[in-house]
Chain A
Amino acid sequence: MRFADLLGFAWQVMRGYRSRTLFILLAMGIGVAAVVSVTALGEGARLYVVNQFGALGTNLVIVLPGRSETAGATPGIVLGATTRELTLDDALSLKRSPAILRIAPLIVGDGDVRVGARRREAPVLGSSTELLELRHMELAQGRFLPEGDPHHSQPVCVIGTKVAMELFGSRQALGEWLRIGDRRFRVIGLLARQGESLGFNTDEIVIVPLAAAQALFNTESLFRILIEAKSREQIGNAKADAEEIIRQRHEGKRDVTVITQDAVLATFDRILRALTLAVGGIAAISLAVAGILIMNVMLIAVTQRRREIGLLKALGATARNIRLMFFTEAVLLAAGGAAVGLAVGEAGRIVAAQLYSAIPFTTPWWALLAAPLTAIATAVFFTVVPARRAATLDPVQALSRR
């Protein structure tokens, strides 16, 4: 029997038993659509996190004060010695490393920001002029913090759009003065609207020079040092250099933690990928259910089409012919169902993308391949028994019954 004729025969069967065909297409379609949309959801979440990290800056290395050791207590803790603080000079000394492009020291605190009678609490960031480039921030108006020795500061600040709205209303904020605590700052720049990135909304912050923040919060110690490595390949060197330079400055104690954005990102990436795979697998169970439905329907078909199968044998069909007919039908049904499922899943993804534009819903390529292939493999697997039953049917008995 020719392949084209096998397809044609299966097509006739599918057309002949329309409601049955529709039910199988529906079941298979739901299974494939479930896999496609669920993995699109997971992949969307993963890409969202990756993008958020990307927005933090590129080739980022972060120095945190204190050492987070997972194993045992360090001698310092036993002896009651506190970890040394991270200072501005620590930060500036990092510029010695050839692997480091730029650094930005960071102090974070909550400030009481006032303009006349209007006031609001806002996170106040103390940093240097490099922060703008390093964190990929953009200005809407004015300038960023001035360059110069970060030990000394001018009374200036850069504010987020929401802060500007709430404090100045529709008035022009640029060039105006505001108060943080008991100090006055002139607004020299407005940040462009960027929205949330990893729990930090740049629309709601006030950025002041580092020395001003030190005075405001009455502290010398830095919250973080942000480092940008010269290139992706230099991230490892930058990390090693930062650890080494600060160890030397801290009398040989390793009392800071240096993390790379890459390492954190890789962890999130792994977790979310595994999660996507897992939920995709769970959705694939519905494909197995659809496979069982196919088996049932095919078993019914063997009984329903006894006479036809007997006739085909009388007309000279071999057992192989009969088996191939059943498998072709199953594969066509599964492929049709998979096509329906892919279309529905894709439509669902587009709708979801419209509703939640922040999350980049994307069906991963492996799900687009695996879902239809699983559907077809399940269909073939569950047709083995019905096909064998049909092929071994006794034609005399099959034909003798009315």
Chain B
Amino acid sequence: MIRLTGIERTYVVGGEAVHALRGVDLAITQGEYLSIMGPSGSGKSTLLNIVGLLDRPNAGTYELDGRDVTALADDELARLRRQEFGFVFQFFHLVPRLTAAANIELPMVLAGIDPNERHRHLEALLREYGLEDRANHRPDQLSGGQCQRVAIARTMAMRASVILADEPTGNLDRHTGQEVMAVLERLHEKGGTLIVVSHDPEIGARSHRQLRMVDGAIVNDERR
């Protein structure tokens, strides 16, 4: 359960304050499939980063599973990010010198999980995402769709309960994009919360709840 109340986020750009988020109230229950739509600069990504504990609000409170996480220490936030959230980015963000397998394994390495357990889980993930024959390829030897599948498999390394996808199809052709969305939706069907930021209405239409943002505020919250 994610509950945001009165979230404000202000950046200072070139000496001028920019309001990225203005008084955002939002509650998301576990297992929801939610899309955040809106024009560029409307605050979609900022909202996603705040939900994912990558960014801190200037004002307002954030409750995660009933616990106020607004003022937690950095290390505690890192621990929560590791355990609860999985990020999927438009530009994949894989470490270029590591193989697909090593990229998927990375969160488990950071968490200090026992190598034997790590490898068992890694094998399962490679199988599940059809990446077994790509395990030892580096990102520059993979197609965009494969890169994004590696990134999605990576979110499952620590069994994230909330998947945050920022324009996950933005760098893919239509067909591959739909495949990637199908993979993400499978995670949702297994009980994960899926939050997708996009300005593609077709992607937004697939979700069960659609938020529309303009100028840092939620102007429309619609469920189907």
- Report which A residues bind B (CB closer than 8 A): 1-2, 4-5, 9, 12-13, 15-16, 307-308, 310-321, 395-396, 399-400, 402
Contact = CB atoms under 8 A, between A and B. Distances in A.
Question: What does DSSP make chain B's interface, helix, strand, loop or mixed?
Answer: helix
A400 B112 contact: no
B110 A321 contact: yes
Contacts of B110: 1, 312, 315-317, 321
20 contacts: A1-B109, A1-B110, A4-B115, A5-B109, A12-B98, A12-B102, A13-B97, A312-B110, A314-B54, A314-B87, A315-B81, A315-B110, A315-B154, A316-B79, A316-B111, A316-B158, A318-B75, A320-B75, A396-B49, A396-B55
Contacts of B106: 312, 315
**A-B complex: 5 closest residue pairs judged by Cβ atoms:** A316-B82, A16-B97, A318-B78, A316-B81, A315-B107
B78 A400 contact: no
Contacts of B81: 313-316
Contacts of B98: 12
Nearest to B50: A396
Contact of A311 (B82, B95, B97): B95
Interface string B105-134: 011011110010000000000000000000
A395 B158 CA distance: 20
B222 interface: no
Contacts, number: 71
A316 B83 contact: yes
B93 interface: yes
A12 B99 CA distance: 10
B89 A399 contact: yes
A402 B83 CA distance: 26
B78 A5 contact: no
Contact of B54 (A4, A313, A402): A313
Nearest to A6: B109
B210 interface: no
Contacts of A310: 93
Interface of B: 45-46, 49, 52, 54-55, 74-75, 78-79, 81-83, 87, 89, 91, 93, 95-98, 102, 106-107, 109-112, 115, 154, 158
Contacts of B109: 1-2, 5, 9
Contacts of B78: 313, 316-319, 321
Given A2-B112, A316-B82, A402-B91, A12 B97 contact: yes
B121 to A, nearest CB: 15
Nearest to B49: A396
A310 B49 CA distance: 12
B112 A315 contact: no
A16 B106 CA distance: 16
A318 B74 CA distance: 7
B93 A399 contact: yes
B62 to A, nearest CB: 15
A9 B112 CA distance: 13
Contact of A319 (B52, B75, B93, B97): B75
Nearest to A308: B95
| Highest count of chain B CB atoms <10 Å: which of A4, A312, A395 | A395
Given A5-B109, A318-B78, A396 B54 contact: yes
B107 A316 contact: yes
A4 B118 CA distance: 14
B20 to A, nearest CB: 10
A1 B93 contact: no
B171 to A, nearest CB: 10
Contacts of A320: 75
Contacts of A16: 96-97
Contacts of A317: 78, 110
B139 to A, nearest CB: 12
A348 to B, nearest CB: 35
| Highest count of chain A CB atoms <10 Å: which of B49, B83, B154 | B49
B181 to A, nearest CB: 21
A320 B74 CA distance: 10
Contacts of B49: 396
Given A1-B111, A12-B102, A396-B49, 19 more contacts: A1-B112, A2-B112, A2-B115, A4-B115, A5-B109, A16-B96, A311-B95, A312-B110, A313-B54, A314-B81, A314-B93, A315-B110, A316-B78, A317-B78, A318-B74, A318-B78, A318-B79, A320-B75, A396-B46
B60 to A, nearest CB: 17
Nearest to B45: A400
A292 to B, nearest CB: 26
A396 B110 CA distance: 19
Contacts of A12: 97-98, 102
A5 B81 CA distance: 20
| Highest count of chain B CB atoms <10 Å: which of A12, A15, A318, A319 | A318
A309 to B, nearest CB: 10
Contact of A307 (B93, B97, B102, B112): B93
A4 B116 CA distance: 13
Contact of A15 (B45, B82, B83, B97): B97
Contacts of B97: 12-13, 15-16
